[in-house]
Amino acid sequence: MAPVTPALLADIREKRYARARGAASHEALAGLTLQLAAGELVALVGPSGCGKTTFLNIVAGLDRDYVGQVSLAPRPDGHPARVGYVFQEPRLLPWRTVYENIALVLPPDRADAIVRDMLTAVGLAGAQDLYPPQLSVGMSRRVAIARAFAIEPDLLLMDEPFVSLDHDTVEQLRELLLTLWRARPTTVLFVTHDLREALVLADRLVLLSAPPAHVVGEVAVSLARNRRHSGPEIELLRDEVLRHHRELIGSAAARASQ
């Protein structure tokens, strides 16, 4: 049997940021290697400021100033992989309607059908003529998610897309994401600082160290998704993974200081 090509293979040997006034550069990533299989929903978890967003930007091709390589499996027709990106902020153009913000990323001859389908899928069928300033925060996030799925991405990057939302809205959007993902299967790399959120959503957790970030461990989540939203099982699993992650970070820091 021929080997399966991973949807994403990233090997970032070094990523640095320059500092002002001749100070030593900041090493954000070092030896960060990650592989995703097609159709996986993987959560990238690490301390605040460890370089999670930096890594996503490298994978998306938005940051090319690094040492290493990123490889995305081509589409079945041989064309390059399509990458969708949901940022921490929705990044909607305020002078364009909801409809226009989604249609902007689509071929004109297919835009109308796809936009209407996506707006129905995210529960915004009646909002197509509204402008971003007229939307609630939760509605804006739904539009951003709809726009990302509209291009039928082979890899969907999500950078803490539910940050700063109230609990009920977050719960609704998590369930929406899973519903869309099941109906429109794709590979998802989801960045979060919320360990419980990672356990609710992901097939696998990739745990990062403090900067310079690298992978210190992985956790496969075998608990059925319908048992992850509440109850003692998810809380016990969260506490267990949290302790494990802290131990891994501590061990990595100790090795780095030797």
Q: What is the pLDDT of residues 75-97, one digit of tens each?
A: 989 899 999 999 999 999 999 99
What's residue 232's pLDDT?
A: 82
Full-model pTM: 0.94
Burial 116-138 (b: 16+ CB within 10 A, else e): eebbebbebeebbeeebeebeeb
Confidence of residue 247 (pLDDT cuts 50, 70, 90): confident
CATH topology of domain 8-88+152-257: Rossmann fold (3.40.50)
User: What is the pLDDT averaged over residues 46-70?
Assistant: 95
Greatest Cα-to-Cα distance within the chain, rounded to the nearest angstrom: 60
- C-beta separation of 35 from 90 below 8 A: no
Q: What's the pLDDT tens digit per position in 216-228?
A: 999 999 888 888 8
